[in-house]
């Protein structure tokens, strides 16, 4: 999408240009596309060697420029959150008490092919995107996080995107609406998700770089308001068994680069893992991202939390807390760094116009 207006005068991609849209909803006469034979899911998964140890000081990424005068020091007195809650509402109150003042939600949904078999144990053998009478893991995660953060979102508009389907693969994202408008609250996000799923063709490979790049664009165009990017995915960033020890796959490298660049923005990234996993490499990925302006990335295992033998309301509270407990300190870090509500100097220096 885009055309002559797809780039602004600086040469950067606009929000509209970054958002592809698959011909995947009723009313698009060109859908469905020809179906290509899909190989059966593998019986076992082989994983390449672990991530290499990263340098503590990555090269090529400028640190935020701000003068010492007028910089608000990070006050951590109220940033610690207890871990014993009985409801999502209690977690919301705790976030407010810990210092979170305002937040805007962005949602990115994984539509890669592996969703068809990674619910074998955790979702009774069904696709993780199965639409039925009970919410699937994606619907549950959107609902819980949406309810928790809605108090902090003044306009309640949620930009929602998909990635990893046959129209985007690991190169782009698509908006939930062809005119790229955001969803009005998490209830509309859920409704639109249910409309889209039957018309999408799952594909791959998996990369989180395109959705992180889109989130940076949205933050920039909002005047550097604080945002939380919620990525819900069934698996790890694609890492071929052919990737040599100590090396990153192209999808891994692009994702790492995007996370580092995103730390120049008032943007927190929460990755929610749904399905059977395994998640060991994702946890290591969380721990081994190069030094950033602030720790802007959090991984939470939805499946593990929701399988606990506790009441449903406590499961939801535990998941919300696990996903969002770092948000107040990250929000305050953006104040300390002087990047909240201020235009990032020459964004083009920090990221390319495409992934």
Question: Do 15 and 221 contact (CB within 8 A), yes or no?
Answer: yes
Confidence of residue 11 (pLDDT cuts 50, 70, 90): very low
Percent of the chain with pLDDT over 90: 60
Confidence of residue 38 (pLDDT cuts 50, 70, 90): very low
Q: In this predicted model, which residue has the larger pLDDT, 325 or 287?
A: 325
As given in the structure block, the two tokens for residue 156 are 């309640």
**Integer Cα distance of 205 and 315 in angstroms:** 31
The CATH class, in words, for 88-237+248-349 is alpha beta
**Integer Cα distance of 296 and 319 in angstroms:** 18
Q: How many Å separate Cα 96 from the centre of its chain?
A: 22
Q: What pLDDT is recorded for position 69?
A: 40
Q: What pLDDT is recorded for position 344?
A: 53
**Integer Cα distance of 52 and 245 in angstroms:** 7
What beta strand segments (E) does 74-158 contain? 104-110, 157-158
- Whether the pLDDT of residue 25 is over 90: the answer is no
As given in the structure block, the two tokens for residue 243 are 């990737």
What radius of gyration do the chain's Cα atoms show?
Answer: 20
Confidence of residue 177 (pLDDT cuts 50, 70, 90): very high
**Integer Cα distance of 167 and 325 in angstroms:** 35
Question: Do 107 and 142 contact (CB within 8 A), yes or no?
Answer: yes
DSSP label of 12 = P
Q: What pLDDT is recorded for position 247?
A: 82
As given in the structure block, the two tokens for residue 300 are 């939470």
Average pLDDT in the 15-21 region?
50
- Whether the pLDDT of residue 148 is over 80: the answer is yes
- Whether the pLDDT of residue 152 is over 80: the answer is yes
Reported pTM: 0.78
Question: Do 267 and 145 contact (CB within 8 A), yes or no?
Answer: no
For residue 121, the SS3 value is coil
**Integer Cα distance of 275 and 170 in angstroms:** 20
Q: What pLDDT is recorded for position 343?
A: 57
- Whether the pLDDT of residue 78 is over 90: the answer is no
For residue 57, the SS3 value is coil
DSSP H helical segments within 122-202, as ranges? 137-149, 185-196
What are the beta bridge partners of residue 105? 228
Average pLDDT in the 190-205 region?
97
What is the domain partition of the chain in residue ranges? 88-237+248-349
Of the listed ranges 51-55, 128-132, 325-329, the one predicted with least confidence: 51-55
Q: How many Å separate Cα 322 from the centre of its chain?
A: 15
- Terminal C-alpha separation, the chain: 16
Number of other residues whose CB lies within 10 A of the CB of residue 212: 29
What are the beta bridge partners of residue 130? none
């Amino acid at each position: 999408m885009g055309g002559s207006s797809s780039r602004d005068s600086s040469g950067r991609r606009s929000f509209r240009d970054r958002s592809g849209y698959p011909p995947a909803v009723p009313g698009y006469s060109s859908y469905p596309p020809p179906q290509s034979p899909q190989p059966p899911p593998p019986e076992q998964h082989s994983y390449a060697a672990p991530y290499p140890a990263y340098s503590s000081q990555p090269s090529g990424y400028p640190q935020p420029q701000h003068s010492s005068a007028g910089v608000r020091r990070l006050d951590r007195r109220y940033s610690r959150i207890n871990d014993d809650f009985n409801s999502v509402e209690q977690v919301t109150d705790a976030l407010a008490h810990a210092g979170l003042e305002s937040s805007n939600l962005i949602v990115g949904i994984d539509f890669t092919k592996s969703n068809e078999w990674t619910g074998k144990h955790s979702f009774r053998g069904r696709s993780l995107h199965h639409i039925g009478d009970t919410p699937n893991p994606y619907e549950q995660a959107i609902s819980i996080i949406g309810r928790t953060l809605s108090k902090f979102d003044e306009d309640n508009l949620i930009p929602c995107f998909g990635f990893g389907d046959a129209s985007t693969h690991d190169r782009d994202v698509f908006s939930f609406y062809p005119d790229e408008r955001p969803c009005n609250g998490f209830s509309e996000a859920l409704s639109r998700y249910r409309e889209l799923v039957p018309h999408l063709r799952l594909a791959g490979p998996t990369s989180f770089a395109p959705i992180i790049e889109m989130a940076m664009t949205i933050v920039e165009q909002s005047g550097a308001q604080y945002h939380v990017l919620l990525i819900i995915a069934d698996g790890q960033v694609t890492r071929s068994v052919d990737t040599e020890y100590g090396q990153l796959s192209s999808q891994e490298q692009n994702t790492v680069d995007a996370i580092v660049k995103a730390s120049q923005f008032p943007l927190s990234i929460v990755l929610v893992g749904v399905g059977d996993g395994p998640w060991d490499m994702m946890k290591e990925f969380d721990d081994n991202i190069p030094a950033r302006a602030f720790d802007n990335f959090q991984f939470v295992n939805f499946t593990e939390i929701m399988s606990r033998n506790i009441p449903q309301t406590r499961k939801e509270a535990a998941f919300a807390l696990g996903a969002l407990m770092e948000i107040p300190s990250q929000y305050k870090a953006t104040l300390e760094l002087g990047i909240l509500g201020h235009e990032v100097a020459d964004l083009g220096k920090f990221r390319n116009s495409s992934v």
